[in-house]
Amino acid sequence: MKLDPALSSAPQAPDSTKEGAAKKQRREPRSRFKPRAEAGMRLEERDEQLLCDLLLHRAMSRGQVQTLYFTSLVRCNARMRQLFDHRFVTRYYSPIAPFGAQAIYMIGKAALPLVARRLEMDLPEAARMARCGHTPTFIEHTLATVDIYIAFRQALEERNGVEMERWLPEVQCRHEWEIRPSAGGKWRTETFKPDGFVRMARKGGEYFNFFIETDLGHTSSKQFLGKLMTHQRYLESGLFREVYGSETFKTLVITTGERRLRNLMELVSAQNSALFWFSTLKTVRGSEILNAVWNAPLLDVPVALIR
């Protein structure tokens, strides 16, 4: 007896048509490590601002990107995936991060011409900035500095009458000049490269200038002190007044904990300088960054940034 193929319950041959192959491909999950654009993309103004920030700050975590640019986690993830698929950003996951950890985003090759044009820099310079600084230590330091930037923004949103007039990441406040330690001595290049600069303005024209130094304990205390002393020379030389148009500033040192803070303060106290104020990452990551959480060797009690 012959069976009608149309009534047979035997498995059918796999669909070998192009349509079947396309359906199978669409069912495959996308890798979080490999970009795969499935449709066109049009950049918005917010995207361009974000890409500029990624180049200037070098890296941001997904949480930081959401805080600065999105109100919705779902929208943030979807947009960052689109930017990743179109190679405007790259993704990085720490080798020691657990599964499901937040992605860390950096500028992608496709974004460099746009960002270079918006920031008025040469394309080779933008490409050089995008290539450097991908080590875990550098990224940890960068993310901590971005946290400080976010802390200032959030604290100022709650403070009436004071606004953030300017924020400059390290690449925008780096300054090199020639110095000769003594008459007849050899000239040498000194580099001033704080991790950031923030200027806050009170209505009426009063300015508060602060350079930022983020210390995660990756250098010795004496090496870090040497870096801080360039701040003293930068102020005394008049270069700060020449570049920023203000007479003075303070340097905010944000470090890992109380023990490290005390060690750095002891080193600075020998310099008899009132330029440096100290606090910890745990403290300033909250909403207290403007308040009396700053310690200095020549002060008896903690002080606030804005009084």
43-133 to CATH, choices 3.90.1150.10, 1.10.10.10, 1.20.1440.230, 3.10.50.40: 1.10.10.10
Per-residue pLDDT of the chain (307 residues; tens, 9 = 90+): 444 444 444 445 555 555 655 555 555 677 777 888 888 899 999 999 999 999 999 999 999 999 999 999 999 999 999 999 999 999 988 776 666 688 999 999 999 999 999 999 999 999 999 987 678 889 999 999 999 999 999 999 988 889 999 999 999 999 988 877 666 678 888 899 999 999 999 987 889 999 999 999 988 988 988 999 999 999 999 999 999 999 999 999 999 999 999 999 998 988 888 899 999 999 988 778 999 999 998 888 999 998 7
The predicted structure's pLDDT at residue 10: 47
Burial of 301 (0-12, 13-18, 19+ CB in 10 A): exposed
CATH architecture label of 137-284: 3-Layer(aba) Sandwich (3.40)
Q: Measuring CA to CA, how many Å separate 248 from each of 224, 244, 306?
A: 22, 9, 15
pLDDT at residue 21, rounded to an integer? 55
Query: Can you tell me the distance from the alpha carbon of 262 to that of 301, in angstroms, rounded to the nearest whole number?
Result: 14
Cα first-last separation, the chain: 99
Q: Where do the structural domains in the chain lie, given as residue ranges?
A: 43-133, 137-284
pLDDT number for residue 300: 85
If we measure between CA atoms, which residue out of 103, 87, 109, 134 comes closest to residue 32? 103
Residue 59's pLDDT is 95
Q: SS3 for 87-106, per residue?
A: CCEEEECCCCCCCCCCCEEE
Can you give the pLDDT at residue 99?
A: 67
